[in-house]
Structure 1
Amino acid sequence: MLPEVTATRYVTPLREGGSLPGIVEADDLGTYVMKFTGAGQGRKTLVAEVVCGQLGRRLGLRVPELARIQLDPVIGLGEPDEEVQELLKASGGLNLGMDYLPGSIGFDPLAYEVDSAEAGRVVWFDALINNVDRSWRNPNMLVWHGDLWLIDHGATMIWHHNWPGAAASAAKPYDASDHVLARFQPDIASAAAELAPLVTEELLTEVAADVPDEWLVDEPGFDTTDAVRRAYVEALLPRAGTIHTRITLGEPTAERPSQAPGWLTGRPGRPVPVAEKGASA
């Protein structure tokens, strides 16, 4: 289970992205980037953050530590920003926090070199979780103390927004042509050989167990929260063994729209997906 803390002070909003996360201080004297259940994207983005963040950490990738954060809406009473006030009022109870990395900077592929082995691990991981939001438009990576850190996994596992079609969606290939690390010649074959054997049913079950019941209850089509957790395991497990053969690394196209869903980008609707290309190993 993730550690649990209580928010004691709302520090400032982070206005990058559509969910309006904020920096908060907690009763363990830690500082966190907090994502809220009351944000427009809903609780499934928090579920994705937990499943993918914990999976990435278990696979040896650098992902900030996660925590459950209890929020008393009274914290928002003194906030001058009405949007922040409404968000805090709507998010009473359990929310999600990520360890704040002070002094970190956003990743710039023109200023920071990544070796092919690390690039391969990140691209393979993003293919596994179907991350549509780590492109050159929006890298969702930080550089902290000279190391690369992965953040913001709320737009992953798009299949959990439509469970009846999850198996078919999870079986699809992954177009990494616009991935921010595509230019570093990612060694996907080596990454798959290293990481795929680690993605076992036991590991995925443990990762899914970290998702709080509060974010899984009353999921349509499921009788219990454990049944929802099992659905995540069943979607990711077969994908881990074969996705490396279905990753496309073509030429990036500047005119291509983001494949991130509209609720994430702030645009109405969802862009038409790019036509699937032939897969390459």
Structure 2
Amino acid sequence: MNKIPIIGITTDYQEKVNSYSKYPWFALRRHYTECLEIFNCMPIILPLTKSLPDLDFLDGIVISGGDFDIDPSFYGQEITSKKVQTIPERTDFEMKLIEKFIPTNKPILGICGGCQLLNVYFGGSLIQDIQSNIEHEQPNPRNETSHEITFPKDSPLKKFTNNKITFINSAHHQGVDKLGNNLTVTGTAPDGIIEGFEHQSHYYCVGVQWHPEFLITDFDKKFIQDFVNHVKKTFSKLLSEKFQISRKKAEGLIKNKKVLLNDNIESRPYLVVQEKISLVLISPLKKSKSYFIS
């Protein structure tokens, strides 16, 4: 049984010859894993697979950003900008991942391209190239803040800062156009570009256009910590539910006298649960050794 929450993070996928390798490769910046590790989580890197494996062991997921764009056909458009670079394998995998993860109600965080993907998944559309319409592109690198973000009146992002506005980094050429179904805007840039949203009914399904994983400001740190806290709450709840289920199974075995009894352990009875192996009840008996009752 997991002792700390496990969070899956999707990866970028490239086949560029003049880059890391002349063969196809996956990539993920360390910032994505390190920002979770400092809050006592175990990040697991998820490569793009043709078939989606059993992911019940994950307590939350992060849809990461990267050097890719979502095919406009997903939101009913054709490519209108030469800057659009699609990676069908990645989009297909991440769409299937979200489809499978949404019903679990476990936390989902989309960052940059992941934010855009969540918006499209819920029926929204994207601005294919922001610079063609709005002067939004920033000269600052990702490890520096670039522009302000302002919050609607009831935005949950406001709790991470004492100011009406705060500063974030920026590194994207696309953005949310039409907002997806059941999504609510939580932050915007001065030029009107949507910088954050949340799902109205899911326990925690949040998209942010900036890169909080760089942990540039206290605002970023508090945001990531809040995501992790939501994962930990889900993790603790699942542990409790698993224990209750195991306890009921054990009680059923006790009634049917199919349990291992043992004395010389402690003066009080207690239950040990070994998942996928056996259910064991350890309880003191007078002058007896360990034996099975059938």
Q: TM class by shorter-chain length?
A: under 0.3
TM-score of the two chains, using structure 1 as the length reference? 0.24
Where relative contact order (Cα < 8 A, 6+ residues apart) is larger, the structure is: 1
Structure 2-normalised TM-score?
0.23
More helix by share: 1
The answer to which structure has the higher strand fraction is 2
